[in-house]
Chain A
Amino acid sequence: MTRRSLALYVGRRLVALVLLVVVISFVVFSLLYLAPGSPEQILLGARPSTPETVAAIRAEYHLDDPFLVQYWDWARDALQFDFGRSIRTNEPVVDGIRERFWLTLQLGGLAFLITMLLGVPLGVLAALRRRTATDRGVVALSVVGVSAPAFATGILLLYVFAVRLGWFPVFGEGSGVIDRLQHLALPAIALALTGMGLVLKLTRTAVIGSLEQDYVTFARARGIPRRRVLGAYALRNGLVPIVTAAGLLLAYMLAGTVLVEVTFALPGLGSLLVESVRTLDIPMVQALTILIATIVVLVNLLADLVYVAIDPRISFEKAKA
C-alpha cells in the first residue's frame, strides 16, 4: 500500500472508531435497560423500602424518563466528556476508572510480555521438533493454560510460589516499582497462561508452514546456514499469524483479567466492569465499554498496520477484479 493510501486507511479506521463508539454505547444502553432489575432495586439492596424512597431514587437518576430521553441525556454529557457519576458509588466515573486503569495496564502489559517471550520461542521449538514428544508435550502444556480456568491456575501458583516457597506476596498490588513487580508477577503469569496456547499454536503452525516453502528448500540447497534460514526466512514469513495472535491476546486477557483480579485481590478494571454490570451502574458501564471499544479498535488497527510493515505486499484495498 502506498503511504497515502495507508494514511487514508488509518483515517477511515479512526472515523469508524467514533461510529463504533456511538453504536456500541447505544446497544449497551439498551442492554442495560432490558436487563432484569433496575438500579434502584439494586441500590436499595435487600431492604423493604417505602414507595417514596423508590420514587426519590428513580427521580434522581431519571429512571422514569422515556428510554431515548435517558440515552440522549447521557450522550449529550458524554460528548462533552462528562461521563457522570457512578450510580453505585457516587464518585465521578472518570476518577473511578483512572484509579484502576494503570494497574490493569501494568498487569496486562506484563502478561503480554510473558506470553510473547515464552510463547513464540516455544512455538518455534515445537515446529522444529514437530511430531516428537517435545512438540506434543509443549503443545499440551500450553493447552493446559487455556483450558484450566484462571482461578485454578491462580490458586495453584499462589500455593506453590507464594506460600510454599514464599517468593511472592499472596495478594494486593503493592506500591513502588519493585514492590509492584513482585505483586504482579504471579497474577501476570496466571493471565499469561490463558493466552499462551494461542501464541504458541499459531507460531508453531506458521513456522511449520514456512518451513515447507520452496524458498526454504532452495536456501538450504544453496548452503545458507540453518539458523539464518530459520530467522531470516522461515520466521519472518510466518510473522503474520504471530502478529494476529499478539493482537488477539487482548481478547483472552479481557476474559481472563476478572478471574485473576478476584483471585489475587487486585482492584482492576475487570472487576469494576463486572460489578458495574451486576449493579446496572449505567454511567460506569457505558464509560468502560467505550474505553474497551477504543482499546480494541486501536489494537486491531495496530495489528493491521504491522501486517503491512512486515509484508508490503499486503493491502486492505478492494481486491482488483
Chain B
Amino acid sequence: MTAPATVRVTVNGEPRDVAPGTTVAALVRDMGLEARGVAVAVDGEVVPKRRWGERTLAGGEHVEVLTIAQGG
C-alpha cells in the first residue's frame, strides 16, 4: 500500500491538503509568510518557533496561523 499523496488539515478554518510530513515551518513558508510576527497553534497548543522545523502536521489537525492585527 502506498502512502497517501496528501493529508488534509484545517488552516485558519479552511481545509488544506499538504504533503505528508509537512512541518509547521514548511506550511508557514508555503503560505508566503515570514516567521517574524507570526505565531502558530496546532489543535489549540502553541507551537514555539524553535519547534516549527520538527513539528509535522497530521491529517485532521487544526492549525491556526496568526499575526498581529489592529486592536486594543
Real binding pair: no
